[in-house]
Structure 1
Amino acid sequence: MREVAGVANVLFITADQWRGDTLSAVGHPCIRTPALDALAADATLFRRHYTNAYPCGPSRATLLTGLYPHTHRSVRNGMPLDARHGNLAQEVRRGGWEPLLFGYTDTSLDPRGRPPGDPARDTYESVAPGFTPVMNLSELSRGWIADLLAKGYDIAEPGQGREPLYDPDPAGETAPGGFGPTRIRAEDSETAFLTDQVLRHLAVRQGQPWFVHLTYVCPHPPFAAPAPWHMAYDPAAVPAPLRGPSAAAEGEQHPLLAGLHRAVPLSKFLNHAEGPASALDAAGVAAVRAAYYGLASEVDHHLGRVFDFLRQSGQWDDTLIVFTSDHGEQLGDHHLFGKLGYFDQSAHIPLIVRDPRAAADAGRGRQVDGFTESVDILPTILGWLGLPVPRQCDGRALLPFCHGETPGDWRDAAHWFYDFGNVRERIESEHGRLQGNECGVQVIRDARRKYVHCTGLPPLFFDLERDPGEFEDRSRDPAYAGEVLAYAQKLLSWRMRHEDRTLSHITLEGGYFEEEPS
């Protein structure tokens, strides 16, 4: 392994809605991810990595700014990200790299100062400032659909976007107990198309430093895969969901959980499906899980193509590779689908970091059990490039772990935020109608306990040693009263330590200007 010299490249990959347990490298009972497993064997894998927010827009706001959601406050899809907050692309651009985007960032741009007719005022799918969008694939997926039209596909309404293209092919072979394939061939799928675009572009960038943010939409729903990926997993052999006997029984745990069971339609995950997602039976859940794993394996296959290109072109040892996700997916656990609520499945995501330098040889193949978070990605990438990390960044660089070290003062818990304001009318509260600013859910989770604080609803507390599945709320159990108080205080102290500090290091007094060192 040689040191990175004149050329330093970054390949920053996200796969949308990829659960943290969905890698064979961490012992998943059925998923096959050979490309990512091989990457992990030559890199550092972080087993307890968590997003700091969900759904898509909030998670990527945190990922790209390095700020906790209570600071950047873009906490729902469509909630604007204040323009004063810098991001990874802008910092990289200042350092001399052009940050190229293949995919999307789901950024709700600050509308202030924009004229009423500006299209950016009408979407949460704008591109984060600083990126050069080489291939912008929002939900409209215009680039992909244009490619399909050029290849002769009959697309009835090209302006409808990606979701209709995941309808099953009535002429296709249906997987036993599962779904039929999409009518888009595997070589023309959304994942294949985006990979082709990246490889074509990198082919003309050899010998020049580059920065690529590659953002796959899969395995995000609709949960339908092209052939042969739709048959990659037998629904009868996938792991059963972690859930109680019924949604009604589990919903007794908390009004938020009961409300989410009512609020989320199955059509968000399966085209043309009806009814609430929580009502899907065991066979249906198994079929969805098999399709989800097929989509994930398809992404892994195409990542293998990208990794092979880097090796064959001699760029493997010049390139920092970061693979992660924006958030997880409930996948039927606790009778939920999507990224919502307070359970680990929505927040736990994968993270693999490959530092090509010789200094990282001690960390190759290492699996880290310390708690890491999405806010750590920005300082990790900037640190590797030798660029300064903005003072207000809430995360910390992970490079010491990649070098075989463990910082002595590392965090002992993960933290994340969820705002259910978009479905608040379906969440019953004994205190009456919830206001928009009463829909926050803040979680602190360590190796032993998990405390969930809700702004306008009761808290929850889980003893993860006794109840790793999070079925027993102990917040009102007198035996846990002291611990509930201690975790609430710990959460408050954490929030206070991470308030916005853009200017808090400067003092203007007595005729002098004083700035605290970083």
Structure 2
Amino acid sequence: MQADKQSQTRPNILLITVDQMRGDCLSALGHPIVETPNLDRLARSGVLFRNAYSATPTCVPARAALMTGMSQCSHGRVGYQDRVPWEYEHMLAGELAGAGYHTQCVGKMHVYPARNLCGFHNIVLHDGYLHHNRSRHNNTVNGHFDQVDDYLTWLRQQAGAQVDIMDNGLDCNASAAARPWHLAEELHPTNWTVTQSIDFLRRRDPGKPFFLYTSFVRPHSPLDPPQVYMDMYKDLELPDLPIGDWVDVEAAKANGSDPTTHFGIVPKRRLDRARAAYYALITHLDDQIGRLVNALYEYGVSQNTIILFASDHGELLGDHHYFRKSLPYEGSAKVPFILSDPGGKLNLQRGGSQSEVVELRDIMPTLLDIAGAPIPSTVEGSSVLPLCRGEEEAEWRPYLHGEHSYGSLSNHFVTDGREKYLWFSQSGEEQLFDLVSDPQELVNLAAVNSAYWQDRLEVWRQRLAAELDGREEGYVEEGRLVVGRPPRQLLTSVFQGMEA
């Protein structure tokens, strides 16, 4: 009994992340279609951030920012590169474990090797379909794929030895193809992630506060919601997609309608079905998050558990005829971010919202701050608690620099949440958006013959040049951006000896 009382002197922490959820897909933000009542309830008991971004919007670099608190220049992952060992000295779970927390991850880690604990006491793993884990020729380090996927092992125990996560026929990157989940709902990976998280609440050490990281794979494709959720959305009239004045529509037509495309024009019926399935997956997630929050109540810890909810990146979902992520547009780079305090422990401005630009690197220092744990000097993010408390003296970054190596579309962006500047390093194309009057990024102000916007363009151009000055790629010479420098997936200054 005494040990259990001692565990409550510091709050428990529940970090919930989803994969590939757009920042606008919350009914609390006025989305015209998607329903997220449980996430809205978290926002009412905490603070909702309206300008949260993923600085490197794909799974691996985004999770590096989350787990290390570093910018992409310091964690070194400026593009998507699998099979690169995670050997960072300070990671979130390890710091919380060192501070006396019982730490557990359930769901997606997307690290290498796959069973790298990254400081957790234990992981129960489901990364979804990762090509390097599934390849029968790449098993010298990880072992066979069923050894790195605890969900698949469990699923076969429940539904038969021949069952596989690819049985529905949907590609793991098919953003324009959808069908309902083909097995019982309780077997869906979203339900499994919550079931395993609730089981941790049963078997946690009662003498310690806990850090539970519940990490969902959905709404990342395959777009396979249970039928009841698909039925909620499949017949709704969906709003038109934004198509900017800068989009090369003829090139999109030429690219066709491959369901795994990054850029192309998909037939409306197919695209509407995919959008409906995506929204359905989010509502399914929302209900399961409600189930997990209810379990906190049942185990008597709901009033002493802080909840942070975020996504690793977004999904373009047909905006400007683009799909998936990696690009700096709002659908891809903007993410949901909620800090919830149901018990009122942190003195937050509950039910409020914040417009300051936050990023995934801010999660680690925020959670360490909540735990009263030291924040390592390697951390470059900042705790959002002063913002959430409305502290007038709280200083915050004036803008955020993001980037992603992406072949001919390798890009950099700089934003303060009100304006956004984009530079495509291989072509030199520039875009500038007024996010206040044009949140869908329809009008490229870099092409507007206006003295005001040309001045603003130069301001942002110089800010980006200052961010990139001295980078090993050679993006800047004599204070000006240089076009055509070969982009890297990894910075060799961080990953010495590795091919970048």
Q: Tell me the TM-score normalized by structure 2.
A: 0.80
Partner of 1:183: 182
Tell me the amino acid that sits aligned with residue 354 of structure 1.
S
Can you list the C-alpha shifts for 1:192-216, whole angstroms capped at 9, x where unaligned? 1111111112112273421111100
1:473 aligns with 2:480: no
Q: How many angstroms does 1:474 deviate by?
A: 3.7
Q: How many angstroms does 1:295 deviate by?
A: 0.7
SS of the residue aligned with 1:36? helix
> 2:274 & 2:334 partners in 1: Cα distance?
19
Indicate conservation of the 8 Å contact 1:17/1:220, yes or no.
Answer: yes
Indicate conservation of the 8 Å contact 2:68/2:88, yes or no.
Answer: no
In structure 1, which of residues 6, 9, 24 is the aligned counterpart of residue 9 of structure 2?
6
Q: How many angstroms does 1:83 deviate by?
A: 2.4
1:46 aligns with 2:45: no
In structure 1, which of residues 490, 493, 501 is the aligned counterpart of residue 463 of structure 2?
490
1:451 aligns with 2:421: yes
Structure 2 unaligned segments of length 5 or more: list them.
1-5, 130-145, 172-176, 473-500
SS of the residue aligned with 2:227? coil
Can you list the C-alpha shifts for 1:66-123, whole angstroms capped at 9, x where unaligned? 1111221123131636624521122112212232110122124xxxxxxxxxxx3xxx
1:92 aligns with 2:96: yes
> 2:92 & 2:74 partners in 1: Cα distance?
16
Indicate conservation of the 8 Å contact 1:166/1:183, yes or no.
Answer: no
Partner of 2:119: 130
> 1:50 & 1:387 partners in 2: Cα distance?
25
Partner of 1:143: 150
1:74-113 map, 5 Å: 74-75=77-78, 76-78=80-82, 80=84, 83-108=87-112
Can you list the C-alpha shifts for 1:115-151, whole angstroms capped at 9, x where unaligned? xxxxx3xxxx454521234311123573223333222
1:63 and 1:266, CA in 2 relative to 1: closer, same or farther beyond 3 A?
A: farther
Tell me the amino acid that sits aligned with residue 460 of structure 1.
E
Indicate conservation of the 8 Å contact 1:443/1:453, yes or no.
Answer: yes
Partner of 2:498: none
> 1:138 & 1:126 partners in 2: Cα distance?
11
1:224 aligns with 2:224: yes
Tell me the amino acid that sits aligned with residue 360 of structure 2.
S
Tell me the amino acid that sits aligned with residue 120 of structure 2.
F
1:35 and 1:454, CA in 2 relative to 1: closer, same or farther beyond 3 A?
A: same
> 1:4 & 1:241 partners in 2: Cα distance?
49
In structure 1, which of residues 60, 68, 80 is the aligned counterpart of residue 71 of structure 2?
68
> 1:287 & 1:378 partners in 2: Cα distance?
37
Q: How many angstroms does 1:384 deviate by?
A: 0.6
Indicate conservation of the 8 Å contact 1:360/1:404, yes or no.
Answer: no
Q: Tell me the TM-score normalized by structure 1.
A: 0.77
Q: How many angstroms does 1:460 deviate by?
A: 1.4
Q: How many angstroms does 1:440 deviate by?
A: 4.1
Indicate conservation of the 8 Å contact 2:387/2:394, yes or no.
Answer: no
Tell me the amino acid that sits aligned with residue 155 of structure 2.
L
1:227 and 1:406, CA in 2 relative to 1: closer, same or farther beyond 3 A?
A: farther
Indicate conservation of the 8 Å contact 2:234/2:277, yes or no.
Answer: no
Partner of 2:490: none
1:131 and 1:405, CA in 2 relative to 1: closer, same or farther beyond 3 A?
A: same
Tell me the amino acid that sits aligned with residue 186 of structure 1.
E
SS of the residue aligned with 1:236? coil
1:186-201 map, 5 Å: 186-201=185-200
Q: How many angstroms does 1:472 deviate by?
A: 3.5
1:146-185 map, 5 Å: 146-153=153-160, 155=162, 158=164, 162-165=165-168, 180-185=179-184
SS of the residue aligned with 1:151? helix
Q: How many angstroms does 1:398 deviate by?
A: 0.7
Partner of 1:318: 304
1:192 and 1:355, CA in 2 relative to 1: closer, same or farther beyond 3 A?
A: same
> 2:88 & 2:154 partners in 1: Cα distance?
37
Tell me the amino acid that sits aligned with residue 148 of structure 1.
L
> 1:81 & 1:145 partners in 2: Cα distance?
23
1:272-291 map, 5 Å: 278-291=264-277
Partner of 1:378: 364
Q: How many angstroms does 1:459 deviate by?
A: 3.6
Q: How many angstroms does 1:468 deviate by?
A: 3.5
1:361-400 map, 5 Å: 361-400=347-386
1:295 and 1:63, CA in 2 relative to 1: closer, same or farther beyond 3 A?
A: same
Tell me the amino acid that sits aligned with residue 149 of structure 1.
R
Indicate conservation of the 8 Å contact 2:314/2:325, yes or no.
Answer: yes
Q: How many angstroms does 1:469 deviate by?
A: 2.8
Tell me the amino acid that sits aligned with residue 144 of structure 1.
Y
Deviates more, 1:474-483 or 1:489-498: 489-498
Q: Number of residues paired by the alignment?
A: 440
> 2:117 & 2:403 partners in 1: Cα distance?
21
Can you list the C-alpha shifts for 1:343-379, whole angstroms capped at 9, x where unaligned? 1110111111123564534511111122111111111
> 2:34 & 2:190 partners in 1: Cα distance?
18
Q: How many angstroms does 1:35 deviate by?
A: 1.2
> 1:70 & 1:81 partners in 2: Cα distance?
17
Partner of 1:213: 213
Partner of 1:507: none
